[in-house]
Amino acid sequence: MARDTERLAQGLRAWLPRGAGVTGVKTLSAGHSNETYLVEGLNEILRLPPSEEGLLPPYDMKRQHDVLTAVAKGAPAVPLPPVLELCTDPEILGDPFFLMGCIPGEAFEYAVPDWLAANPVEGAESVCRQWFDALLALQAMPVEAMPPGTRTVEEEAQHWLEVARGADSVPVLVAILEDLVKRPPRSSGPMTPIHGDPKHGNCLWHEGRLTGLLDWEMSRISEPLLDLGYILMFQDQGEASLGDAGYALPGWWGTERMIAEWEKGTGRTAVDVARYTVLGQAKVAAIISVGAFLFNTGRIADPRFAAFAALIPSYVGLLERRAMAAG
């Protein structure tokens, strides 16, 4: 973590009208993606771009703030933290930033929390219900209420193809993405708002209740099946898993149930959903490739990214099998 938290605290004290209440700044999550800090004394969350080279630039703080503000107004059923001030002046803290209210909750992605392990049937059913209800509420939000920014399915595949090529990724991944560009999955209908990274690890839970859906940096207006396919690709990953905690619980929704609930909630048909699942997994494979590339070329020293390189063979192997099955 490269930032000086005392400097952050001093900047906030000088800039915020309530800055006199800032007693310190504590790192919550920092590294090579968007960073979050607890503003002590105010009990607020500070959001900043990466302090070092990031996995997926650019990191547009204003757009993230605009998206959160729009979703809070246009889809109030989506649980979010309160969205507070935006600052686009990099002189204040070194980068643009925004603030959010602090909400109760914990995220889980790599281990099932005790409260869920103790209730693996009804608890898991409730988790999946709340998670999908939030996603469906977002996709039902009026398109005109979202900030500008659209991407077709073909453009989505092309984007991740360029990311994979730029990371000198394995030929199999590049070939699968090239095929998705040439033969994009069919559309389910008009574009809607999508989250872009709607995994269960981006949900906050408090006493079994979904309190916040987080990490909106990839949100835009696009094909809603992109979100569903992204979620489905976490099913049955085996040794290629990046974090499937919860999926083995007896009450956790399987693939067929997730598809059925999405179709019921949207009134759409999940056409070519297997290919959307492949596209979701290819997207994550491209991101893993970037992390491995940055580590292997010495541009970042974070040991977490050494593990990315070790994971690529099994992950791309699963991707190839799924791509062959999807046709």
- Local confidence pLDDT in tens for the 327 residues of the chain: 579 999 999 999 999 999 999 999 999 986 667 899 999 999 999 999 988 777 787 889 999 999 999 999 999 999 999 999 999 999 999 999 999 999 999 999 989 999 999 999 999 999 999 999 999 999 999 999 999 999 999 999 999 999 999 999 999 999 999 999 999 999 999 999 999 999 999 999 999 999 999 999 999 999 999 999 999 999 988 766 766 689 999 999 999 999 999 999 999 999 999 999 999 999 999 999 998 998 888 888 777 778 888 889 999 999 999 999 999
The sign of the torsion formed by the CA atoms of 16, 22, 24, 25 equals negative
The predicted pLDDT at position 307 comes to 81
Considering the domain architecture, whether residues 76 and 128 belong to the same structural domain is answered as no
The predicted pLDDT at position 293 comes to 92
Considering the domain architecture, whether residues 306 and 201 belong to the same structural domain is answered as yes
Residues with Cβ within 8 Å of residue 213, at least 6 apart in sequence: 78, 79, 80, 134, 138, 195, 198, 202, 203, 204
Of 66, 101, 136, which residue sits at a domain end?
Answer: 101
Domain CATH for 62? 3.30.200.20
If one counts the domains in the chain, the total is: 2
The answer to whether 49 and 29 are in contact (CB under 8 A) is no
The predicted pLDDT at position 296 comes to 87
The predicted pLDDT at position 257 comes to 98
pTM: 0.96
Considering the domain architecture, whether residues 32 and 138 belong to the same structural domain is answered as no
Considering the domain architecture, whether residues 257 and 292 belong to the same structural domain is answered as yes
State the DSSP string of 31-99: SSS-EEEEEETTTEEEEE--SS--SS----HHHHHHHHHHHHHH-TTS--PPEEEEE--HHHHSS-EEE
Task: List the domain range (segments joined by +) for residue 87.
Answer: 5-101
* Gap between the Cα atoms of 200 and 320, Å rounded: 24
The predicted pLDDT at position 188 comes to 98
**Token pair for residue 50?**
């990466």
Question: Would you call 204 helix, strand, or coil by DSSP?
Answer: strand
Considering the domain architecture, whether residues 281 and 148 belong to the same structural domain is answered as yes
Question: Would you call 173 helix, strand, or coil by DSSP?
Answer: helix
Of 70, 101, 132, which residue sits at a domain end?
Answer: 101
**Token pair for residue 234?**
């976490």
* Gap between the Cα atoms of 239 and 252, Å rounded: 19
On whether residue 131 sits in a domain, the answer given is yes
The predicted pLDDT at position 54 comes to 73
On whether residue 107 sits in a domain, the answer given is no
* Gap between the Cα atoms of 165 and 167, Å rounded: 5
The predicted pLDDT at position 75 comes to 98
**Token pair for residue 140?**
């039902």
Report in angstroms the alpha-carbon separations of 301 from 53, 181, 310, 311, 323.
11, 33, 15, 17, 33
* Gap between the Cα atoms of 164 and 287, Å rounded: 8
The predicted pLDDT at position 243 comes to 63
Question: How many C-alpha atoms does 281 have within 13 Å on its Cβ side?
Answer: 30
Considering the domain architecture, whether residues 204 and 321 belong to the same structural domain is answered as yes
The answer to whether 239 and 314 are in contact (CB under 8 A) is yes
CA 84-27-283 angle, to 5 degrees, is 80
